[in-house]
Amino acid sequence: MGSGNIILNINCKANVYIGNDKNKLVPNLYKEIPKYEYAISELDAIIARFCNFRDYWNVKYLNDNFDKDFIYETILLLKMCSNSMVRFNPKEQYFNQGFRGLGDKKEFFTSTMKDICICGLNDIRCVLKQRDYKFTNVDFLLYEDNLLDKGNLLILDPPYILRSDMYDTDFSQQHDIALIDIIQNTKSDFIYFNYLYRDGKVNENLKKLIDKNNFKVIEINNKTLAGQGRSQNIKEVEEVIVTNVRMQ
């Protein structure tokens, strides 16, 4: 499910919009966000008691304390971290992304940044209340709904198996083969994102799938950037969408 960008913005009608991610953060946030309205004054109260913030956040996260304050705190945490990335220790599962420096800024949480946070939260809240959403938090290998049935649109955005420099993941070869099998055999429409090529490496499972089927392949990116924006971190890639959906 990633950040949930696609499921919140996709322009299609459905009886229910289901978002699943093995990591519990985004699904649980999206369950809670519609319950509240958000205001600058409440955000300021969170900022005012900021102290050892990442450790404090991890205690709540690891204990499944997804309350209203946690929503504010997560927004602030991500804004303070390098590239606003979500990265977890693969063994202990605590959030371990580093903070970025203030540089020449006298204040990190400016009025403009706080306005962006609050407007974004209230916008997401409105979107989530307009449709019937369901958010789940399971390994897709254990997902109960039959993904091979007809009549669904599957949006499949797994961790990119050729990409190991930006975050740790336990997405295994078993997961990749199972996902390819779903794409190969599902009677539903699907849209699948991944790297076909990166740094001289070929995604062999994906290449075999494409060679074997008459799926449409759309290149969406040929470069990627990791780290702090230095030009030497630019990587040559072939990021693609693979789909059986007819494009107009």
Coil vs helix vs strand at 172:
coil
Domain end: 70, 104, 135, which one?
135
What is the spatial distance between Cα 44 and Cα 54, in angstroms, rounded to a whole number? 17
Contact call for residues 162 and 199 (beta carbons, < 8 A):
yes
> Are both 162 and 130 inside the same structural domain?
no
3-state percent breakdown (helix, strand, coil) of the chain, nearest 5: 40, 20, 40
Give residue-wise pLDDT tens across range 138-149. Answer: 988 888 778 888
> Are both 97 and 149 inside the same structural domain?
no
Range of the domain at 39: 22-135
- DSSP letter (8 states) at residue 141: G
Give residue-wise pLDDT tens across range 163-180. Answer: 655 555 677 888 889 999
- CATH classification of the domain holding 172: 3.40.50.150
pLDDT for res 239: 92
> Are both 182 and 116 inside the same structural domain?
no
- Looking up tokens 């903070």 gives 99
Give residue-wise pLDDT tens across range 68-112. Answer: 999 998 888 887 776 667 777 777 787 766 655 555 555 667 889
> Are both 144 and 107 inside the same structural domain?
no
